Amino acid sequence: MTLSEKLRAAAADIWESYLRHPFIREIADGSLPVEKFKYYMIQDYLYLYDYSRVFALGVVKGGDPETMRFFADFVYSTLNGEMNIHRFYMARLGISREEAENAKMALTNVSYTHYMLSEGQSGGIAELLVSILSCALSYEYIGRYLAGIDGAADNEFFGEWIRGYVSDEYTEGNKRLIEMTDRLGQGISRQEEDHLTEIFVNCSLYESRFWDMAYQMGDQVQSDAGI
């Protein structure tokens, strides 16, 4: 198995749970309340800025021009490609760029992005790439699942979101990420593989919590006192 295949296998149960999440199920049947999707869009918009910063670390840490260009391409495509999906919906929802960029990040969002940035800053190219990989690949995984549901990708409101994550442009980007991951995984030690697997699984868990946060429209905090 390649490194990317091992990572996917380690998080398979977590990824399967995404498809059962009410946020995804309600996108599938078109019943997700618009206010929940609006909250998600703003939080994900903010998330993508830090996601881009992790890619930018690859430019800084790249030991050769080819690696630097690889990560620079993803900084550009995220800021000017994937974020266009968000801007399309923000326009439909009446959300200005200023409103989105001045919104407060939910604690789950802050924790997730800080974890990715921490791994990217303290580790090498492999660590920062794997910290990104769960988000990039799981959105395609969810998008393909939704596109396979009759009528979901044609939904007047949510269809554009679904189609964006199964587009040729998006999936080609993921192929490049997988190829780079598998190259970096060749000849690594078991200890290094275990560490990369831990990062990937942790980020997959953060993705699950991100869907929880989006559906609840905020962080669900419980205390021993039940308050």
Give the up-direction half-sphere exposure of residue 113: CA atoms within 13 A in the CB hemisphere. 18
How far is the CA of 127 from the CAs of 11, 30, 69, 195, 218, in angstroms? Answer: 16, 37, 18, 8, 29
CA separation for the pair 53, 120 (Å, rounded)? 9
Query: Active site includes 66?
Result: no
Q: Smallest Cα–Cα separation from 215: which of 1, 60, 18?
A: 18
CA separation for the pair 81, 173 (Å, rounded)? 11
Q: Annotated catalytic residue: which of 35, 135, 140, 198?
A: 135
Q: Specify whether the CB–CB gap between 5 and 196 falls below 8 A.
A: no
| Burial environment of residue 221 by CB neighbours within 10 A (0 to 12, 13 to 18, 19 or more) | exposed
Residues 6+ apart with CB under 8 A from 123: none
Q: How many residues are present in the chain? A: 227
Structure tokens at 206: 């953060």
Query: Active site includes 135?
Result: yes
Enzyme catalytic residues = 135, 207
